[in-house]
Amino acid sequence: MNQTNMKYQTGAMGRRDFLRSSAMIGALPLLTGTLSACASDKGIGKNTSGTPTAISSRLPQRKLGTLEVSALGFGCMGMSYNRGPHPDRKACIQLLHRVVDSGVTLFDTAQSYGPFINEALLGEALSQFKNSINITTKFGHAFVNGKQQKGVQNSRPENIRQVAEDALRRLKIETIAIFYQHRFDPNVPIEDVAGTVKDLIQEGKVLHFGLCEVSPQTIRKAHAVQPVTAIQSEYSLMWKLPEESGVLSTCEELGIGFVPYSPLGRGFLGGGLNEYTKFHAEIDNRATLPRFTPEAIRANTRLVEALNAFGRTRGITSAQISLAWLLAQKPWIVPIPGTTKPAHLAENLSAADIALPPDDLRELNEMVSRIEIAGNRYSPDQEKLVGH
């Protein structure tokens, strides 16, 4: 077996096996010292102002532009949006505290998640750690009377400013670590968007500027006005468009970090879904996505089976393989897997210590290249909103 920076665990281990063993041993050493909603003393210190701060450094560090963060971040959307029924607020807060105690320093949310309630959840759970973590959020969708207008964007300068003020209030922080444009707005020049965020940075309300699902041309135009710290787009073993479109090479050229969302293919690469899985029609957006029809899931199960076969002799799960693959692509890539389950959290974060050697990466890439992915990631209307 090839040598790695972390010895592969011995024996086969699927996701169910991992969850079973994690439940038995308390969700792995990564997650020792579970925090209560009020934060226990274990794993938590205080800065000079008396605010509790996380002191764990168990995860490797990476840089998005000039911003140093943990090698794996945490996507918070699924705690209150687009992923079906979710745990109650207390359980979510406890899990978020556990994420902090595990060494994660990058937390991702957005105005549209809920809408609004995901930011409020993070404000309640994480504001006490604001001096030691980075909370990112997003602007750009249009709302009328608190309801999102499907397919309509609003990146007018006055709206960007209002979203920033509202986010700061809900998150209970003074500065947004990265303020992303959630989707490109064809009615507002990207230079005006970048200029508005530049003003917010100068005012101390935002630290860094980010963009989601945009083209290399848009990145360059924005970067010329206000340096872009991170691009957030879908990227995984199921979706490699950032490679093909030139986005990753543009990021490398300009010194911009990359944050893959849905690094586990909206949960599919974890291996827990099958053609009989039912998605809640109203609160789980996978019910509307072509890739999650029973026929597509049945066809794409070949990929999960291949990952399981790859991991069987290495003692790692399909989810860990998927995250380790992303981390191996570039040192400035920071995936943000999300979950509502402590055992899945332990499984995901363990991937930060798995270094796939060149021979294994070559084998993995060749294996995946032979599998054609069935179903588009978005509907035609949704796909129109990305890649500008």
- State the pLDDT at residue 3: 39
Say how far apart CA 41 and CA 32 lie, in whole Å. 13
How far apart, in Å, do the first and last CA atoms of the chain sit?
44
Residues with a known catalytic role = 113
Domain ranges of the chain: 15-25+59-383
Say how far apart CA 377 and CA 14 lie, in whole Å. 25
- The mean of the pLDDT values for the chain is 87
Distances (CA, A) of 252 to 66, 230, 368, 369: 13, 11, 24, 24
Q: Are 157 and 196 in contact (CB under 8 A)?
A: yes
> Is pLDDT of 251 > 70?
yes
191-238 per-position pLDDT tens digit:
999 999 999 999 999 999 999 999 999 999 999 999 999 999 999 999
- State the pLDDT at residue 103: 98
Please state which CATH class domain 15-25+59-383 belongs to.
Answer: alpha beta
**264 is written with which tokens?**
């586990």
Output 190 or 44, whichever has higher pLDDT. 190
DSSP code of residue 293: S
User: What average pLDDT score do residues 153-164 get?
Assistant: 98
Question: What are the φ/ψ torsions at residue 45 (nearest 5 degrees)?
Answer: -115, -170
